[in-house]
Amino acid sequence: MASDGSRNDFLLELLALQQDGRHAISAPTNWTYEPLLEVETEVDAVVDELQEAILVGSDGNDTARWHFFIGSPGNGKSAAMGKLCRRLMSAKGCQVCDESGVAIPDLEPTAIPYALNVYEGNNKFASAQIVQDASVVRKPFSPDVDPATELLQTLEHTWKKGISLVVCTNRGALEKAHRDNHTNREVNSKPWFKVLAAVVSASTTLSATVGDAREFGGKKTVFSKVKIGYSYLDNRSLLLNRDTFDCLLQSATSAAHWKSCASCSARDMCPFRANRDWLVDDEAKKRVLQLLTRAEVLSGQVIVFREALATISLILAGCPRDYDSRHPCEWVQGSVANNDIFSLIARRVYMCLFASYSPHGLEVVGALRKRQLGALRWLFDVMNTENAESRAAVAHVVRRSAPSTDVGITRLLGATGIIASLDPCREALPADFYERWDADFDAVPEAGGTLFTAIERACVSIWRDLEECLELAAEHSVSEAHWALRRWSSNFLLHFGALLEGRSAWSKELDAFAKLLGLVATSPEDRSIEEKLSIKQLDARIEKLLNTVAGSQGESTVQLSEAVTLCGQWVHDKLKPRTVASEESGSVSLAVEFKGGERAVFAAPMYLWLTRRAAGRLDARCFPQELLSGAADARVRAASKGKYAFESNDVELVVDTGKGEVFRLTRLDGEMDVRHE
């Protein structure tokens, strides 16, 4: 067992960041101190402004501030509120209390109040109210509970008081509050409801203000006017065109957090220390961030702060389900003492990312794992009894004493998660890659370089011993055992090599799509001629595919209905698709836009199929229709807006009667030509 002097208590703090940890949700009781991993983001500028703007202050500010932080769970809204409250209490000398008057430091550890009031100095009246999460309610067990109604009541209350308001919410709560009441004459004429309507209709930029300051109009209000602002956090990637995730890694791997590891007797066999060394190696860390970026792009959904922190915690501190009441360091030293080597290697960074759902690196499918374990048991029985260390290591595997595969973050790391779909073993890898990582056990350490630790070397030694047993055996089970052993070792070594070399499924296409995401975010004036050409080529591919799916043999077409197809020069000139940034899906998807403003989301899966279609490796009939339906529908809407029916020239309609007859209607100088095809 580890002594107190060789424990790294930073690992315990990291465990609290996992999705079932006490710091997974930023509650007010956690706001009195700085977060474990603190990094600067764009939201800090908003918080800097709000800590001044929501208060009257010594200069007698007369304009309140209402600000809405809008986004999905886990993307940093509550953390931003924690930072705001700390600054209000420390820098501004304010009291921040729940609605019963209990100050944040005195709240129960599990308390998450609906609203917090901000008092300046010794004032008995609040200057501002903070709603940490408008998707919850004050009385959760009320029979007519409704977060949207609760939000409206909060808006009305703070408007009457004439105070500042900061609200954290998801877009659904805002839209429901607006949708349920926008036709209600008793509500929709209220000034505070008009504020809600303005925020709901605002575009999803990171941060913006809505109009000029508005008059409260009350007689005893704290402020006389109010200025409205909002921040959409869903379109804020921690990876694309930002270094936020990188900064989190730098904070977590800071040498100051890992000093105590130097005196640990198990340091050379510790997967967490080895993972830390991986993440401080610039090139190796770059490959980890690259894999996470590809996962984010492919899923079309940003990796939020909560997922990022939980992933870092898993890589650097393991899974609390393995420890019971033990310290992570005790678990490592116990595993080393018991020669449970494969539990240690199962917590290496490449296994955490690619195969955390694979017990001891064995097959995931139950029937295959049963076969594999049967073959490994046979191997264990024929192993040289003099090699006690190798036998002890294999014994843990055949007895199924594997670390937990329930590590959380299932959207990213689960068996059906996004990184599983990026597993490089899903596609054919180059022959030289297999030669480096899966042909000769003696060559692997050299390929792994300094990141190939004592843990990997110990496992390779055991696999080599098992392979020697196979060579000496003459039984019919040899072929099955050889398959089981190579599948087992390959799960570790191929994933090690893949992460080290930056390999994954769809890697080139996803990297190209990520580059396009950054490209379309820039103005055309800032693009080089090569960049403009790449976007133009993409637009042409999309148009060609839309035409092909619509049944065209080369001309521009729009399928208006099952029986009617619009075509002609007008379609080619007016309905060309244009690739633009997608506001709806934030920064991890593009959009296809047509004249008239009609657009549809253009996500990475469509790009992957489109790329392979363009390369000539895919028949158009194999293209998943659902990926194109959004763009095709947007094109139809754009055609309707374009009033093609009133054009005098260049418009043709192809009508299929469904009875084997097809007619082409062509308009020329306002006259109609009808021909049977």
pLDDT digits (tens, 9 = 90+) for 521-551: 788 888 889 888 988 988 888 888 887 765 5
Q: How far apart are CA 234 and CA 204, in angstroms?
A: 9
pTM for this prediction: 0.89
Residue 63 region by backbone torsions, left for phi larger than 0, else alpha for psi between -120 and 50, else beta: beta
Q: 555: which DSSP letter?
A: S
Tens of pLDDT, residues 173-207: 899 999 999 999 989 999 999 999 999 988 777 78
Question: Is the pLDDT confidence value at 317 over 50?
Answer: yes
Query: Which residue shows structure tokens 């995931």?
Result: 364
- For residue 235, name the pLDDT band (cuts at 50, 70, 90): low
What is the structure's pLDDT at 4? 44
Q: How far apart are CA 346 and CA 397, in angstroms?
A: 11
Tell me which H or E stretch contains 305.
Answer: helix 305-317
What is the structure's pLDDT at 484? 93
Least confident of 400-414, 482-496, 633-647: 633-647
Looking at every residue in the chain, the average pLDDT score rounds to 89
What is the structure's pLDDT at 78? 85
Question: Is the pLDDT confidence value at 1 over 50?
Answer: no
Q: Which amino acid is at 326?
A: R
Q: 9: which DSSP letter?
A: T
* Residue-level length of the chain: 677
- For residue 649, name the pLDDT band (cuts at 50, 70, 90): confident
Better-scored residue on pLDDT, 528 or 22: 528
- For residue 618, name the pLDDT band (cuts at 50, 70, 90): confident
Please compute the mean of the pLDDT values over residues 132-157 and round it to a whole number: 84
Per DSSP, what are the bridge partners of residue 164? 128
Residue 650 region by backbone torsions, left for phi larger than 0, else alpha for psi between -120 and 50, else beta: left
What is the structure's pLDDT at 2? 41
Q: 438: which DSSP letter?
A: I
